[in-house]
């Protein structure tokens, strides 16, 4: 049986080298449970996009924001102005969602304006608002306001009682007295000058047969721009029974005037 010589220098099959601990860790990190890891990555990416979207600034229009004015001492606004305006805000959706019109007040500084007709442009320099951090003011609607400024004056006017209702037959209103007889009013000069009397609230005369008193009767000045410094008065109302005129009847007989014997007899009233 022939024998084959084995060469000592023949090649020997290489034995695979065992992976190191670092290599095993990398394989475990990236290859083991790769489906769960891919899902976690997708969730993380979605959360990151959501958070990024919430922090992205957006614009919001808020209607019904209360309007207030800072004016020069001694001046009053005489014309009618809107009580609220619309403001445009910029900020993150999370912060803007927490803002409502009742939380906001727009204070317009017109202390630099002089008496007369003025057009005030609303701007961030003129309007002050207390806003949360990260929320900024961008604009207003309307953007301008027509304002008439008048000197503030104070005056006294006679009290006039407003009577309604009908007295019973045979009675009449003899008069009234008010305490105080004059009340003090304060407001824009043009509006004060348009008043001639200080009218009270309604006093009813229906069915009254005797004089009466009323205390703390309110002065009714419907103009919201006018302040009533003396808001109430006490009054005394005088009601009297009407006087009946005396009637004297004199009867003339035919004896006194024979010519009337066949004619109707007249009635003479003194």
Full pLDDT tens readout for the chain, 270 residues: 454 554 554 455 555 666 666 666 656 655 565 566 666 666 766 665 555 555 677 888 999 999 999 999 899 999 999 999 999 999 888 888 888 888 899 999 999 999 999 999 999 999 999 998 888 899 999 999 999 999 999 999 999 999 999 999 999 999 999 999 999 999 999 999 999 999 999 999 999 999 999 999 999 999 999 999 999 999 999 999 988 755 455 555 555 555 544 445 554 444
CB atoms within 10 A of CB 256: 8
Q: Is the peptide bond before 219 cis (omega within 30 degrees of 0)?
A: no
Per-residue confidence (pLDDT) for residue 133, from 0 to 100: 86
Rounded Cα–Cα distance for residues 117 and 113 (Å): 10
Instruction: Please say which residue of 142, 164, 188 terminates a domain.
Output: 142
Per-residue confidence (pLDDT) for residue 146, from 0 to 100: 96
Are 186 and 107 within one domain?
A: no
Structural domain of 222: 151-241
Per-residue confidence (pLDDT) for residue 246, from 0 to 100: 53
28-56 pLDDT, tens digit each: 655 565 566 666 666 766 665 555 555 67
Are 157 and 184 within one domain?
A: yes
Contact 52, 46 (CB under 8 A): no
Instruction: Please say which residue of 142, 159, 187 terminates a domain.
Output: 142
Are 162 and 114 within one domain?
A: no
Are 183 and 228 within one domain?
A: yes
Are 207 and 181 within one domain?
A: yes
Are 123 and 193 within one domain?
A: no
Cβ neighbours of residue 147 closer than 8 Å, sequence gap 6 or more: 77, 79, 81, 110, 113, 117, 118, 119, 120
Are 88 and 136 within one domain?
A: yes
Are 173 and 92 within one domain?
A: no
Per-residue confidence (pLDDT) for residue 269, from 0 to 100: 45
CB atoms within 10 A of CB 49: 10
Query: Is residue 251 in some structural domain?
Result: no
Query: Is residue 191 in some structural domain?
Result: yes
Query: Is residue 18 in some structural domain?
Result: no
Are 165 and 123 within one domain?
A: no
SS3 assignment, position 102: helix
Query: Is residue 118 in some structural domain?
Result: yes
The CATH number given to whatever domain includes residue 209 is 2.170.120.40
Query: Is residue 27 in some structural domain?
Result: no
Query: Is residue 220 in some structural domain?
Result: yes
Q: How far is CA 70 from the centre of its chain?
A: 16
CA distances from 103 to 64, 100, 106, 147, 242 (A): 10, 5, 10, 25, 63
The CATH number given to whatever domain includes residue 109 is 2.170.120.30
Are 63 and 128 within one domain?
A: yes
Domain count, the chain: 2
Per-residue confidence (pLDDT) for residue 27, from 0 to 100: 62
Per-residue confidence (pLDDT) for residue 261, from 0 to 100: 47
Instruction: Please say which residue of 142, 170, 204 terminates a domain.
Output: 142
């Amino acid at each position: 049986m022939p024998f084959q010589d084995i060469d000592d220098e023949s090649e020997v099959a290489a034995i695979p080298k065992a992976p190191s601990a670092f290599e095993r860790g990398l394989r475990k990190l990236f290859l083991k449970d790769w489906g769960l890891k891919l899902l976690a990555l997708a969730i993380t990416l979605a959360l990151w996009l959501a958070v990024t979207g919430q922090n992205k600034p957006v614009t919001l229009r808020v209607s019904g924001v209360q309007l207030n004015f800072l004016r020069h001492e001694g001046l009053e606004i005489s014309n009618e102005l809107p009580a609220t305006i619309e403001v445009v805000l910029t900020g993150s959706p999370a912060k803007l969602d927490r803002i409502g019109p009742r939380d906001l007040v727009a204070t317009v500084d017109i202390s630099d304006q002089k008496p007369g007709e003025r057009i005030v442009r609303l701007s961030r320099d003129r309007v002050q608002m207390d806003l949360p951090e990260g929320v900024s003011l961008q604009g207003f609607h309307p953007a301008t306001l027509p304002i008439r400024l008048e000197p503030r004056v104070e005056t006294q006017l006679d009290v006039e009682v407003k009577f309604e209702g009908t007295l019973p037959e045979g009675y009449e209103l003899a008069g009234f007295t008010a305490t105080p007889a004059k009340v003090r009013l304060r407001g824009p000069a043009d509006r004060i000058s348009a008043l001639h009397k200080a009218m009270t609230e309604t006093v009813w005369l229906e069915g009254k047969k005797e004089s009466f008193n009323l205390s703390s009767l309110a002065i009714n000045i419907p103009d919201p721009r006018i302040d009533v410094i003396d808001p109430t008065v006490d009054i005394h109302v005088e009601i009297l029974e009407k006087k009946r005129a005396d009637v004297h009847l004199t009867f003339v007989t035919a004896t006194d005037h024979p010519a009337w014997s066949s004619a109707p007899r007249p009635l003479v009233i003194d």
